[in-house]
Amino acid sequence: MRDSPSPKASILLALEHRPSAELLREHLRRQGHETVHVEDGRDAHQYLETESPGAVVAGTRLPGRTGRELVRLVPPFDPPVVLLGRRGNDGEVVQALEQGAADYITRPFSPPVAAARVRRVLSFREAFPHAAA
């Protein structure tokens, strides 16, 4: 198991939509979190093989590897993966959560609410650092 994150853990933003990534990045930075942004699922998976971010926010339709594929490739909640996808597809949301996504945020999204949900996932991971083991 990887080390548990610090209170201001880094966050991997694996989002193909640059404006969404920038909005979320700015709100997370205001809270003191470092972020790394990639626009391709293969790059995200490569990053996760060498780095240990506190959480991942991944687009459901990433090129290369989708966010749902990333959920299946990482150990459960190590790191937790929050998916960002389109509104109106309840079946996809339920399936993603059942497959191990920590949360699912629909577009269009409120950046402050999305950042709060990512921070909540980080706080759960800190409160229960060995739950993924």
Is residue 80 a part of any domain in this protein? Answer: yes
Residue 35 forms part of a structural domain? yes
pLDDT score of 132:
53
Residue 51 DSSP label = -
Q: Is residue 53 part of a domain?
A: yes
Would you state the torsion angle of the CA atoms of residues 1, 128, 45, 50, taken in this order, to the nearest 10 degrees? -40
Residue 51, domain extent: 11-127
Assess if residue 102 is contained within a domain: yes
pLDDT for 62-105, tens place per residue?
Answer: 999 999 999 999 988 899 999 999 887 899 999 999 999 999 99
Q: Does any domain span residue 75?
A: yes
Helix orientation angle between 111-127 and 18-30, rounded to the nearest 10 degrees:
60
For residue 1, name the pLDDT band (cuts at 50, 70, 90): very low
CATH number at residue 101: 3.40.50.2300
Residue 4 lies in a domain: no
User: How many domains does the chain contain in total?
Assistant: 1
Predicted local confidence at residue 87, as pLDDT? 82
Residue 8 to residue 5: CA distance in whole angstroms: 8
pLDDT given for residue 3 in this prediction: 44
pLDDT value of position 115: 94
**Runs of H (alpha helix) within 31-131:** 41-50, 67-73, 90-98, 111-127
Average pLDDT, the chain: 88
Is residue 34 situated within a structural domain? Answer: yes
Asked if 122 and 55 count as a contact pair (C-beta separation under 8 A), the reply is yes
Domain-embedded: residue 132: no
Q: pLDDT category, 7, cuts 50, 70, 90?
A: very low
